[in-house]
Amino acid sequence: MDTILSATNALLSSTPSLCDYAAKTGHLAKLVTLMDNSSLPQQPTAIGLVNIFVNSQLCVETLGTTPCSIRSILQYLECDDSKSILRAADTLDKALKKNLCASESACLVSQLLSCEGVPRMLKVLEGSYDMKLATDASEAKARIVSALQAGLKDTVHSERL
């Protein structure tokens, strides 16, 4: 499985237009739903794929309409792999910057609030994962701050955030 994810990761990195295709065909929603399944082990490459997908505005909109998107990404903040934690922080940052919250049903900030993601993000800032992150701790914290600042630009949910 890891080999397939790595190959897909390389393909999407070299051909970003395929990200839009994955969003249109429902593959991105399926991937995020699989990531949300707690009975499956976390695959570090999966968060890498989502990190590439969030470079596409269409993919971010798809994540906004997939109910478990933010929760799936947040899970990677709590894993043992420092690269996955850093990628999760970067993915949250990119996604929240691109999510325009055109409607309540497609808003990642709303998802973040509903799955109590802010306290989970604050754990990174408090240093709870510094031992796992080692030299990447400051970069992860910067990404989390940037993601939270992006979320505060959402006029509907900024008060609750």
Task: For each of the domains in the chain, give its residue range(s) and CATH number, in order of start.
Answer: 2-152 (1.25.10)
Has residue 105 got a pLDDT over 70? Answer: no
DSSP state, 128? T
Per-residue pLDDT, 122: 94
User: What's the pLDDT tens digit per position in 39-68?
Assistant: 666 778 888 889 999 999 999 999 999 988
Q: Which two tokens stand for residue 85?
A: 């934690």
Whether 31 contacts 49, CB under 8 Å: yes
* Residues 10-36: tens digit of each pLDDT: 898 888 889 999 999 999 999 899 888
Collect all residues with Cβ–Cβ distance below 8 Å to 15 and sequence separation of at least 6.
none
Residue ranges of alpha helices (H) inside the chain are: 2-14, 17-25, 27-36, 44-53, 57-65, 69-75, 82-98, 108-114, 117-126, 130-133, 137-152
Would the pLDDT of 160 be above 80?
no
What band does 97 get if pLDDT is binned at 50, 70 and 90? very high
Residue with tokens 């940037």: 146
Please give the distance of CA 76 from its chain centroid, rounded to a whole number: 9
Angle, helices 44-53 vs 17-25, to 10°: value is 100
